[in-house]
Amino acid sequence: MTQRPGNQLFDAYFTAPAMREIFSDRGRVQGMLDFEAALARAEASVGLIPQVAVAPIEASCKAERYDFGALAEAIAVAGNSAIPLVKALGRVIASGVPEAERYVHLGATSQDAMDTGLVLQLRAALALIEADLAQLANTLAHQAQVYADVPLAGRTWLQHATPVTLGMKIAGWLGALTRHRQRLSELKPRLLSLQFGGASGTLAALGDKALPVSQALAEQLCLNVPEQPWHTQRDRLVELASVLGLIAGSLGKLGRDVSLLMQTEAGEVFEPSAPGKGGSSSMPHKRNPVGAAVLISAATRVPGLLATLFSAMPQEHERSLGLWHAEWETLPEICCLVSGALRQAQTIAQGLEVDSARMRRNLDLTQGLVLAEAVSSVLAQRLGRDTAHHLLERCCQRAVAEQRQLRAVLGDDPQVSAELSADELDRLLDPAHYLGQARVWVARAVTEHQRLSA
């Protein structure tokens, strides 16, 4: 069947193909058709329609039987996708088994088909996202342990701070993903709920068969039966979008960290290299963080899309004008952006290239100043906090002014040498001996990940 033309130049960069397929025209249409087929089965199971009507309806609920281009033109007039689709479904059924056509879409409304179809798409989308999150978390857990004891400069306000470890930094990325996986698990029972309310949410057209049909329909689709239809209560969808926004933000943090560590002046951690990856059209030497760019881009774009969904929440009465429509492309695009970012993040994490020697050289850029706190903390116990702080501050100023190693300046200072031996100073100014609880943080993050994955 005819496919509408679209902009696919950037899809391979920003979106996972499997996610784009879920939210393709075919995916949208099949979601609604799955609702219609399940509705026929449910209504037949409670005796509302003849059992013989089910097979011709099911046989007609195949997306490949419909012309998406024609549907698109009809949507422009009808105002939603279900109205022309149900009409087209009726015509297909009538062409084969005319008497079955009267039982199509019985008691339902357009939004029932569209929202339930969307929920079915979101269930498939969640399966992809959860699988990708688990894979990425496994990779990060492994990398966090590999680099648990590799020191590098901590950076606050983009300036060198005290040492951390690369494993600790990776464990931070991992911890965020673990929490997001928990959030997705918690929201699924609310999200995966049937939408079935008929014209204005009462299911009056089905009389005393309304609740049995609802239950049977939910069972057919493996969805939960909500306490009532949610045509204009959109919190379920916005909750999912919010968690996806959190995921995008955390992936953006990962991408930002990696891109900063890849800067020429740092040169400590790199995305995996590949022929043609990260090059420049004019500068042959370039190695750009093209994967990190996708993560940062998604983290930048998703909040605006999420704002659209929040803005669309105060929907009017029992059916919204325009606000519901604002959701149709917004939530799928969020899913697609997050899926693309997850795919790029996995590539980065799995092939992470680390220059530990450069990390050590960078730690020495300030000639020991990043470890001034280590010395000050010990001296504070012997001289008092204020005295120790001012003493180290003066020594640091001398080291900068004289362009000398802090170790040499401290060794020359009689007040310092009276309290600390040469061996003590050497130990205090070794980054490997001032990593605090970095290894503990790694172990905790990995344990939480393993507990969730068990």
Residue 115 has pLDDT above 80, yes or no: yes
Rounded Cα gap, residues 170 and 293, in angstroms: 18
- The span from the first CA to the last CA of the chain, in angstroms, equals 44
- Active-site pick, 95, 185, 280, 311: 280
- Provide the CATH topology of domain 11-145+162-360: Fumarase C; Chain A, domain 2 (1.20.200)
pLDDT in tens, 412-438: 999 999 999 999 999 999 999 999 999
Question: Is-catalytic flag, 439?
Answer: no
Rounded Cα gap, residues 254 and 411, in angstroms: 40
Domain with CATH 1.10.40.30 in the chain: 369-428
- 273 vs 391, residue with greater confidence: 391
Describe the crossing of helices 235-262 and 330-350 by its angle, rounded to 10 degrees.
Answer: 30
Residue 213, sorted as left (phi over 0), alpha (psi -120 to 50) or beta, turns out to be alpha
State the number of CA atoms in the 13 A half-sphere of 241 facing the CB.
27
- At 443 the pLDDT is 98
Q: What is the band of 280 on the pLDDT scale with cuts at 50, 70, 90?
A: very low
- Active-site pick, 179, 183, 319, 398: 319
- At 273 the pLDDT is 80
Q: What is the band of 39 on the pLDDT scale with cuts at 50, 70, 90?
A: very high
Q: What is the band of 10 on the pLDDT scale with cuts at 50, 70, 90?
A: confident
Rounded Cα gap, residues 351 and 262, in angstroms: 14
- At 278 the pLDDT is 56
- 80 vs 284, residue with greater confidence: 80
Residue 436's SS3 state is coil
Domain with CATH 1.20.200.10 in the chain: 11-145+162-360
For residues 330-340, average pLDDT: 97
Please state, in angstroms and as integers, the Cα–Cα distance from residue 356 to each residue in 51, 190, 362, following that order.
70, 46, 10
We find that the CATH architecture of domain 369-428 is: Orthogonal Bundle (1.10)
Residue 442 has pLDDT above 90, yes or no: yes
For residues 79-94, average pLDDT: 96
Q: Where are the beta strands (DSSP E) in 122-248?
A: 151-156, 159-165
Q: What is the band of 63 on the pLDDT scale with cuts at 50, 70, 90?
A: very high
Residue 405 has pLDDT above 50, yes or no: yes
Question: Is-catalytic flag, 280?
Answer: yes
Report H helices in 222-288: 235-262
For residues 355-360, average pLDDT: 95
Q: Are 326 and 310 in contact (CB under 8 A)?
A: no
Residue 309 has pLDDT above 80, yes or no: yes
The rounded mean pLDDT for the chain is 94
Residue 286 has pLDDT above 80, yes or no: no
Residue 407 has pLDDT above 50, yes or no: yes
Q: Are 439 and 149 in contact (CB under 8 A)?
A: yes
- At 437 the pLDDT is 96
Model pTM score = 0.94
Percentage of residues of the chain with pLDDT beyond 90 = 93
pLDDT in tens, 192-234: 999 999 999 999 999 999 999 999 999 999 999 999 999 999 9
